[in-house]
Amino acid sequence: MNLLHATAVFAAGMAAGGINTIVGSGSLITFPTLLALGQPPVVANVSNNIGLVPGTVTGAYGYREELKGQRGRLLRLATASLTGSVIGGLLLLGLPSAAFNIIVVPLILLALVLVVVQPRLQRWMLRRREGEHRPHGGPMLWVGVLFAGVYGGYFGAAQGIILIAFLGIMLDDELQRINAGKNVLSAVVNGTAAILFILMWLFAGTDISWWSVLLIAGGSTCGGLIGARLGRRIPPLVLRGVIVVVGLVAVANLLLS
């Protein structure tokens, strides 16, 4: 990897770290970059996932004020993220990419629709649950987070959008606090998948581009901190609009790639 390629990967990592913290879909910057440099899809996907872990951690740390009071909820939901991530990671390593990628675009589009109608759906569900107290969102949210974890462990791009959609509909909370929770759960998914991939590298010979991992990790760490500072200042309506725009760009990139 020459200097120009290394610079491109680092810059892609920084952009992805910022976008992941604010919305999600940062992998749609780093993953195509690694493919353009000639890496096989699975190697690029695995290396990208591991490299983005520090960015998800710094992004969650940047939202620490919004995370106050969410510990119990996130510990409960983290079990779903962890379980789903292991399943998704095993699917990535064991199945051909076509087996899962055919539903990636419909999943992103469904998530975008849910984000747009989230305020109305949230009010409707709160009326149906009137008198009930479900600070953790109930079993339906746990299953939704599990599903997002499977998706995130396998591919990862737009995982944040899917999580925001589920959390926003099932929880009676502010969008910025929901976004903070999304960052923690995304970190759990990426971190769990990264551990699985490293174990497979150690014991089964799975290919990993460690130079790509290091460059993306450095860039995403910086980008995660920057993204947290910017994202916390975005009003809910604008943030929702950013989510939709990024999601549509993600769909376009996947359809054209």
Per-residue CA distances from 46 to 27, 50, 147, 233 (Å): 11, 6, 19, 32
Give the model's pLDDT for residue 94. Answer: 84
On whether the CB atoms of residues 48 and 30 are closer than 8 A, the answer is: yes
pLDDT tens per residue across all 257 residues of the chain: 789 999 999 999 998 898 888 877 788 788 888 888 888 888 888 999 999 999 999 999 999 999 999 999 999 999 999 999 999 999 888 877 666 667 667 877 777 777 677 677 666 766 655 555 566 778 889 999 999 999 889 877 678 888 888 888 888 788 888 889 999 999 999 999 999 999 999 998 889 999 999 999 999 999 999 988 888 787 767 767 776 777 777 677 767 76
Give the model's pLDDT for residue 125. Answer: 60
On whether the CB atoms of residues 129 and 222 are closer than 8 A, the answer is: no
Give the model's pLDDT for residue 149. Answer: 94
DSSP readout, 50-76? Answer: HHHHHHHHHHHHHTTTTTTT-HHHHHH
**HEC assignment per residue over 10-37:** HHHHHHHHHHHHHCCCCHHHHHHHHHHC
Q: Pick from 149, 151, 226: which is nearest to 184 by CA?
A: 149
Domain range enclosing 25: 3-256
Half-sphere exposure of 70 (CA within 13 A, CB side): 26
Give the model's pLDDT for residue 24. Answer: 73
Q: Identify residue 175 by its one-letter amino acid code.
A: L
Give the model's pLDDT for residue 116. Answer: 75
The 10 Å CB-count burial string (b at 16+, else e) for 19-34 is: bbbbbbbbbbbbbbbb
On whether the CB atoms of residues 33 and 74 are closer than 8 A, the answer is: no
Specify the number of domains making up the chain.
Answer: 1
